[in-house]
Amino acid sequence: MIGIVRFPGTNCDRDVAQWVHEQGDSYKFLWHLDRVADLSSFDALILPGGFSYGDYLRSGALAARSPVMASVREYAERGGAVLGICNGFQVLVESHLLPGALVRNENLRFIDDWVELETVSERGPWGENLAASPPTLRLPIAHGEGRFYASDSELNRLEERQQVWLRYVDNPNGSRNNIAGVLNEKGNVAGLMPHPERAIFSWMGSQDGRRFFARGGTKSHAGRG
């Protein structure tokens, strides 16, 4: 069972549900006001993309303070697998469950395009299938505040600790070190700006989104502390 966290303004929840279904998993939606005492029955949690709370203040800033995120934090601290996609990535960063910051694109414009990615780290439940042939992934992006930023010292730590998960082949937004996705120190929490759930059928333009679900991978990292 995969938990899909919804906020006001989330608009990729149904896409993620379809993505999960196509991998043979069941899912349940979790609402932003729900303070769930026990999430141990879930094999993983996914925070989808969208414009949570209308992206007021900063993208993900208000969602990070919603009641459900206290439950997500406890689940992650117990080793549960958590994935944030686009706005979900921003929420995890604003919640300090992932390092760095996501700021306005270098060209100050919203970017809706396809990108090529390379896998940097295979750590954790979300990266177990990504190093398989071919060596790069083709996924779509759609964001205005997707430029990954960190200080020089923090970037060095991320590189040394293998927390850089995915890197753009051709940097579309000015992200430092071409970073498209990162991991927490344990490797169980991951975030990326591209949308794997929008790349599961050939008619979409790519099926590379299917490679993010290693069979049994999320189950072995479920938060059952």
Sign of CA dihedral 44, 116, 195, 161: positive
CA distance 160 to 121: 11
Of 86, 94, 143, 221, the catalytic one is: 86
CA distance 199 to 189: 21
- Phi and psi of 75, rounded to 5°? -60, -45
CA distance 72 to 168: 28
CA angle 20–22–95, rounded 5-degree value: 20
Of 128, 145, 197, 221, the catalytic one is: 197
Specify the 3-state DSSP secondary structure of 121: coil
First-to-final CA distance of the chain = 17
DSSP bridge partners of 183:
190
**Residue 12 bears catalytic tag:** no
**Residue 74 bears catalytic tag:** no
Of 32, 94, 128, 195, the catalytic one is: 195
Alpha-carbon separation of residue 34 from 68, 69, 73, 98 (angstroms): 5, 9, 13, 22
Catalytically active residues are 86, 195, 197
